Amino acid sequence: MVATAEKSEQRLSMQTDEIAADTTVIRSLDWDRDRFDIEFGLQNGTTYNSYLIRGEKTALVDASHEKFRQLYLDTLRGLIDPTEIDYFVISHTEPDHSGLAKDIMQLAPQAVVVGAKVAIQFLENLVHQPFEQQIVKGGSELDLGNGHVLQFVNAPNLHWPDTMFSYDVKTQVLFTCDAFGLHYCSDSLFDEDLGAIEADYRFYYDCLMAPNARSVLSALKRMDKLGEVTTVANGHGPILYYNVDELVERYRRWSKEQAKADTTAAVFYVSDYGYSDPLSQAIARGITKTGVAVEMIDLKSADSQDVQELVSRTAALVIAMPPASGNSAKATVTTISTILAAAKAKQAIALFESYGGDDEPIDPLLNRFRDLGLKEVVPAIRIRETPSEGIYQECEEAGTDLGQWLTRDRSIKQRKSLDSDLDKAMGRLSSGLYIITAQKGDMTSAMLASWVTQASFQPLGLTIAVAKDRAIESLMQVGDRFVLNILEEGNYQHLMKHFLKRFPPGADRFVGVKTQTAENGSPILTDALAYLECEVVSRMECSDHWIVYSKVNQGRVSKAEALTAVHHRKVGNYY
Ligand code: FEO
Residue ranges of domains in the chain, CATH in brackets? 2-257 (3.60.15.10), 262-410 (3.40.50.360), 426-567 (2.30.110.10)
Which residue has a Cα nearest atom 3 of ligand 1? 94
Which atom of ligand 1 is nearest to 181's Cα? 1
Closest CA to 564 of 488, 479, 511: 488
d(CA 219, CA 157): 10
Cα(163) to ligand 1 centroid in Å equals 10
Cα(235) to ligand 1 centroid in Å equals 8
Q: What is the pLDDT of residue 3?
A: 47
Q: What is the full DSSP assignment across 513-555?
A: S-EEE-TTS-EEETTSSEEEEEEEEEEEEETTEEEEEEEEEEE
Cα(394) to ligand 1 centroid in Å equals 23
Which residue has a Cα nearest atom 1 of ligand 1? 178
Q: Where does residue 234 rank: exposed (0-12), middle (13-18), buried (19+ CB within 10 A)?
A: buried
Cα(96) to ligand 1 centroid in Å equals 6
Cβ neighbours of 250 (radius 10 Å)? 16
Q: Tell me the mean pLDDT per 10 residues along the chain, length 575.
A: 47 96 97 64 84 98 96 98 98 90 95 94 86 96 98 92 95 97 95 95 93 95 97 98 98 94 95 92 95 94 94 97 90 95 97 96 97 96 92 95 93 70 89 96 93 97 97 92 97 96 94 97 97 97 96 95 92 82
* Residues having CB within 6 Å of any atom of ligand 1: 92, 94, 96-97, 159-160, 178, 235-236
Cα(178) to ligand 1 centroid in Å equals 5
Which atom of ligand 1 is nearest to 160's Cα? 2
d(CA 572, CA 482): 27
- At residue 209, φ and ψ (nearest 5 deg) are -105, -35
> What's the pLDDT tens digit per position in 74-92?
999 999 999 999 999 999 9
d(CA 90, CA 79): 19
> What's the pLDDT tens digit per position in 131-158?
999 999 999 999 999 999 999 999 999 9
Cα(65) to ligand 1 centroid in Å equals 10
Which atom of ligand 1 is nearest to 95's Cα? 3
Q: Are strands 133-135 and 112-115 parallel, antiparallel or unpaired?
A: parallel
d(CA 154, CA 558): 60
Distances 136 to 95, 101, 238, 404, 431 between C-alpha atoms, Å: 20, 18, 27, 41, 59
Which atom of ligand 1 is nearest to 92's Cα? 2
Asked whether the beta carbons of 258 and 293 are under 8 A apart, the reply is yes
pTM for this prediction: 0.90
Q: Tell me which H or E stretch contains 285.
A: helix 276-288
Q: Which residues contact 276 (CB under 8 A, 6 or more apart)?
A: 269, 270, 320, 322, 354, 356
Q: What is the pLDDT of residue 2?
A: 43
d(CA 387, CA 429): 44
Mark out the alpha helices in 87-239 (DSSP H runs).
Answer: 95-98, 101-107, 117-127, 194-204, 213-224
Q: What is the pLDDT of residue 126?
A: 81
Q: Which residues contact 262 (CB under 8 A, 6 or more apart)?
A: none
**343-369: string of b/e by CB count within 10 Å (b at 16+)?**
beeebbbbbbbbbbeebbebeebbeeb
Closest CA to 296 of 308, 315, 283, 305: 283
Cα(208) to ligand 1 centroid in Å equals 9
Q: What is the three-class DSSP state of 66?
A: helix
Which atom of ligand 1 is nearest to 163's Cα? 2
**554-574: string of b/e by CB count within 10 Å (b at 16+)?**
ebeeeeeeeebbebebebbbe
